[in-house]
Structure 1
Amino acid sequence: MFRRSAILLFAASQLCLAQQGDKKGQEQIDPIPADKIPPSPLLSQEEAMDSFQLTDGFVLEPLVKDELVHMPVALCFDEDSRAWLVEMTQYMADLDGNGEEKPTGKIKVLEDTTGDGKLDKVRVFLDGLVMPRAVAVTGDGVLYTDAGKLMFIKRDGIKPVGEASVVDAKYAIGGNAEHQANGLIYGRDNWYYSAKCDKRFRRIDGKWVMQKTHFRGQWGITQDDAGRLYYNNNSTLLLGDQHRPNVFRHHPKYTPKYKTTQRAASNRVYPIRMNPGLNRAYQKGLLDNNGKLVNATAASGPTIYRGENFPESYYGSAFIPEPGANLVKLIDLSRAADNKLQGKFRTQNSEFLASTDEWFRPVSMYSAPDGTLWMVDMYFGLLQHKAYMTTYLRKQYASRGLDKPMQNNGRLYRIRYQKNPLNTPMRLSGKSMLDLVMHLSHSNGVVRDITQRVLVERVADSEQLAEFKKHAGQHLNGKHAKLHALWVLESTGSIPAKFIEQCLQSKDVELNAAALELAHLADRSVAEALQKYSVKTQTAVSAALALGRLGTEKGYRRAQEIQRQHGKSVAYIPEAYVSGLGLQISEAGSWGAAKDKKFQAQMGASLSALKGRKVVKAPKVLAKDKASFDRGAKIYAGKAACSGCHGMEGQGQPNMGPPLAPSNWVQGDIEVLSKVLLHGLEGPITVNGESFKLPLAMPKFGHLSNAELADVMTYVRHLKGNKGGAVSEQQVSTVREATKGRVKNYTQKELKLK
Structure 2
Amino acid sequence: MTIYSNTQHSCTSARNLLARGLFASILAPLCISTTSAQDDEDTPFYLTLEPPPAVVFTPEQELESFRIADGFRVELVVAEPLIEDPVSITWDEDGKMYAVEMRGYMQDTYGNGEDDPIGSVVRLHDDDNDGQMDRREVMLDFLVLPRAISIISEGLLIAEPPNLWLCPSELNQASTIDCDKKVSLGEYANAPGSVEHQENALVMGLDNWIYNAKSSRKFQLNNGSLDIEKTVFRGQWGLGQDDDGFFYYNGNSNLVTGDLYPDSDAIKAKVSPTPGLSQRLHRGDEVFSVRVNPGVNRAYLDNVLRADGRLRSPTSASGIEIYRGEQFPEEFYGAGFVPESAANLVAQVNITKDDLTVTTDHITYPDADWGQRDFMASTDERFRPVETKTGPDGALYVVDMYRGIIQDYIFLSDQLREQILRRGLDRPLGLGRIWRVVSEQSEINHSAPNLSKASDSELLDTLSHPNAWWRSTAQRLLVASKSNLRSELVAKLASSNEQEIIHALWTLKGRGELSQVEVAGLMENGNSRLIKHGLRAACEHFDETDLLSQLQNSDSLSESLEQGLVFCLGRHLSDTGFDYLFDSISERIQNPYQRVALQSALSGHEVTVLQQSAGQIPGTAPAEDSAESLLVDFLKSLTKQALLQENAQGEELGSELYELLSFIAEIENANWYREELLTGIYEATHTGNFSRISLPNPHPLFATDDDDPLLTTIANARRAFTWDGDTLASDQKPLSAEDELRMVRGAQLYAANCSACHGSDGSGTTGVAPSLSQSARIISAPEQLIRIVLNGLSGPIEVEGEQWNSIMPGLSHIADFDDDGISGLATFLRRNWGHNGSPISPDMVAQVRQETASRTTQWTAAELEPVQVNTHYQQFVGRFGGLEFTYNGRELEVTASIFEGAMEEIREDVFFFAPRSISFEFDRNPDAPSPSVWMQDEDAKRQIMRTEN
Provide the C-alpha distance between the structure 2 equivalents of 1:180 and 1:608, rounded to a whole number of angstroms. 29
1:45 aligned onto 2:45 = no
Which of 816, 819, 843 is 1:706 aligned to? 819
Could you say which residue in structure 1 is the equivalent of 2:568?
546
Q: Is the 8 A contact 1:685 1:691 kept in 2?
A: no
**Residues 1:471 and 1:514: Cα distance change in structure 2 (over 3 Å):** closer
Q: Which residue of structure 2 lines up, in the alignment, with residue 576 of structure 1?
A: 597
Does the Cα contact within 8 Å between 2:341 and 2:386 map onto a contact in 1? yes
CA distance in 2, matches of 1:721, 1:233: 28
How has the CA–CA distance of structure 1 residues 429 and 547 changed in structure 2, closer, same or farther, with 3 Å as cutoff?
Answer: same
1:120 equivalent in structure 2: 134
Does the alignment pair 1:726 with 2:741?
no
* Alpha-carbon distance in structure 1 between the residues aligned to 2:160 and 2:576: 51
Q: Which residue of 1 aligns with 2:385?
A: 362
Task: Select which of 97, 104, 111 maps to 1:97.
Answer: 111
Q: CA deviation at 1:676?
A: 3.7
Alignment-derived partner of residue 257 in structure 1: 273
Unaligned runs of 5+ in 1: 1-25
TM-score computed with the length of structure 1 as normaliser: 0.86
Q: 1:391 to 1:125 in 2, by over 3 A?
A: same
Q: Which residue of 1 aligns with 2:484?
A: 464
Bigger Cα displacement from structure 2, 296-305 vs 92-101: 92-101
CA displacement 1:404-449 (0-9 Å, x = unmatched): 226x511111111112123564332143333322222111122222
- Give the conservation status (yes or no) of the 8 Å contact 1:112–1:121: yes
State the 1:594 CA deviation: 10
The question of whether the paired residues in 2 share the 8 Å contact of 1:547 and 1:556 is answered with no
State yes or no: 1:435 paired with 2:547: no
CA contact (8 A) 2:385 2:398 kept: yes
When structure 1 is superposed on structure 2, of 112-121 and 75-84 the one drifting more is 112-121
Which of these residues, 710, 729, 750, is aligned with residue 866 of structure 2? Answer: 750
CA distance in 1, matches of 2:168, 2:532: 35
Shift of 1:71: 0.9
Q: Residue type of the partner of 1:466? A: R
* 1:497 and 2:486 correspond: no
Distance 1:452 1:556, change over 3 A: farther
Paired position in structure 1 for 2:10: none
Q: Which amino acid aligns with 1:628?
A: R
- Pair 1:31 & 2:46 matched: yes
Aligned-residue offset at 1:397: 2.7
Q: SS where residue 195 of structure 2 aligns?
A: coil
CA distance in 2, matches of 1:723, 1:305: 49
Indicate the residue corresponding to 1:216 in structure 2.
234
Moved more, 551-560 or 364-373: 551-560
Shift of 1:305: 0.3
Question: Any idea what SS the aligned residue of 1:94 has?
Answer: coil
Q: For residues 131-530 of structure 1, what are the structure 2 equivalents within 5 Å?
A: 131-156=145-170, 157-158=174-175, 159-160=177-178, 163-169=181-187, 171-251=189-269, 254-259=270-275, 260=277, 261-340=279-358, 342-345=360-363, 347=365, 349-405=372-428, 408-422=430-444, 425-458=448-481, 464=484, 466-467=486-487, 469-473=489-493, 476-492=495-511, 495-504=514-523, 509-522=528-541, 525=543, 527-530=545-548
SS in 1 for 2:597: helix
Q: Which has the higher helix share?
A: 2
Cα gap change, 1:33 to 1:725, in 2 (>3 Å): closer
C-alpha distance 698-402 of structure 1, shift in aligned 2 (>3 A): closer
Check 1:75–1:599 CA distance in 2 against 1; reply closer, same or farther (3 A cut).
Answer: same
Q: Answer whether contact 1:479 1:508 (CA < 8 A) is retained.
A: no
Q: Is the 8 A contact 1:540 1:566 kept in 2?
A: no
Distance 1:282 1:603, change over 3 A: closer
Rounded to whole Å, the distance in 1 between the matches of 2:456 and 2:763 is 45
| Cα shift at 1:450 | 2.1
CA deviation vs aligned residue, 1:315-344 (integer Å, no higher than 9, x gap): 000001111111110011113543445344
Q: CA deviation at 1:548?
A: 0.8
Which letter maps to 1:646? H
Quote the residue 2:75 is aligned against.
61
Distance 1:434 1:537 in 2: 37
SS in 1 for 2:288: coil
Contact 1:437–1:471 (CA under 8 A) maintained in structure 2: no
- Alignment root-mean-square deviation, CA: 3.2
- Bigger RCO (CA 8 Å, 6+ sep): 1
Kindly indicate whether the alpha-carbon contact (under 8 Å) linking 1:494 and 1:521 is maintained by their aligned counterparts in 2.
no
SS of 2:268 mapped into structure 1: coil
User: What amino acid is the match of 2:840?
Assistant: V
Q: Name whichever of 179-188 and 670-679 sits farther off.
A: 670-679
Q: How many angstroms does 1:53 deviate by?
A: 0.8
2:773 maps to 661
Letter in 2 for 1:185: V
Q: Could you report, residue by residue, the CA deviation over 1:219-271 in whole angstroms, capped at 9, with x for unpaired residues? A: 211111111211122211222222234341123xx343324212324321111
Q: Secondary structure at the match of 1:142?
A: strand
CA distance in 2: counterparts of 1:70 and 1:421, whole angstroms:
29
- Inter-partner Cα distance in structure 2 for 1:137 and 1:493: 21
Amino acid at match of 2:486: A
> Aligned partners of 1:113 and 1:95: how far apart in 2?
39
CA–CA distance in structure 2, aligned partners of residues 746 and 377 of structure 1:
37
Q: Which residue of 2 aligns with 1:73?
A: 87
User: Is residue 240–residue 264 contact of structure 1 (8 Å, CA) maintained in 2?
Assistant: no
Aligned residue pairs, count? 715
Secondary structure, counterpart of 2:178 in structure 1: strand
Quick one: which amino acid aligns to residue 803 of structure 2? K
Q: Say if 1:694 and 1:609 are closer, same or farther in 2 by CA, change over 3 A.
A: closer
Between the aligned partners of 1:395 and 1:658, the Cα distance in structure 2 is 30
CA contact (8 A) 2:791 2:809 kept: yes
- CA distance in 1 between partners of 2:468 and 2:543 (Å): 32
The SS at the match of 1:324 is helix
- Whole-angstrom distance in 2 between the partners of 1:586 and 1:29: 60
Equivalent in the alignment of 2:894? none
Task: Kindly state the Cα deviation for residue 691 of structure 1 after the two structures are TM-superposed.
Answer: 1.8
What is the CA-CA distance between 1:684 and the residue it aligns to? Answer: 5.0
Please give the TM-score of this superposition, normalised by the length of structure 2.
Answer: 0.70
Question: Does the 8 A contact of 1:218 with 1:234 survive in 2?
Answer: yes
Letter of the aligned partner of 2:595 in structure 1? Answer: P
Q: 1:565: Cα distance to partner?
A: 5.1
Write the letter of the residue equivalent to 2:132: K
The answer as to 2:737 corresponding to 1:717 is: no
Q: What is the CA–CA distance in structure 2 between the aligned matches of 1:331 and 1:722, rounded to whole Å?
A: 41
Q: Alignment identity in percent?
A: 31
Please report how far the alpha carbon of residue 680 of structure 1 lies from its aligned counterpart in structure 2 after TM superposition: 4.1
Q: CA deviation at 1:29?
A: 4.2
Instruction: Rate the CA distance shift 1:61–1:491 in 2: closer, same or farther, 3 A.
Output: same
Q: Is the 8 A contact 1:106 1:127 kept in 2?
A: yes
Structure 2 stretches of 5 or more lacking a match? 1-40, 367-371, 617-630, 646-652, 658-680, 692-718, 720-729, 870-889, 891-949
Q: Displacement of 1:178 after TM fit? A: 2.2
> Is 2:776 the partner of 1:696?
no
After superposition, the Cα gap between the structure-2 partners of 1:668 and 1:96, relative to the gap in structure 1 and judged at 3 Å, is closer
CA distance in structure 1 between the aligned counterparts of 2:79 and 2:796, rounded to whole angstroms: 50
> Which letter maps to 2:255?
L
Secondary structure of the residue that 2:383 maps to in structure 1? Answer: coil
Q: Is the contact made by 1:318 and 1:333 (CA closer than 8 Å) also made in structure 2?
A: yes
Work out which of the two has the higher radius of gyration on C-alpha atoms and give 1 or 2: 2
Letter in 1 for 2:831: H
Give, as a single letter, the amino acid of the residue that structure 2 aligns with 1:729.
Answer: P
What CA distance in whole angstroms lies between the structure 2 residues aligned with 1:679 and 1:403?
Answer: 25
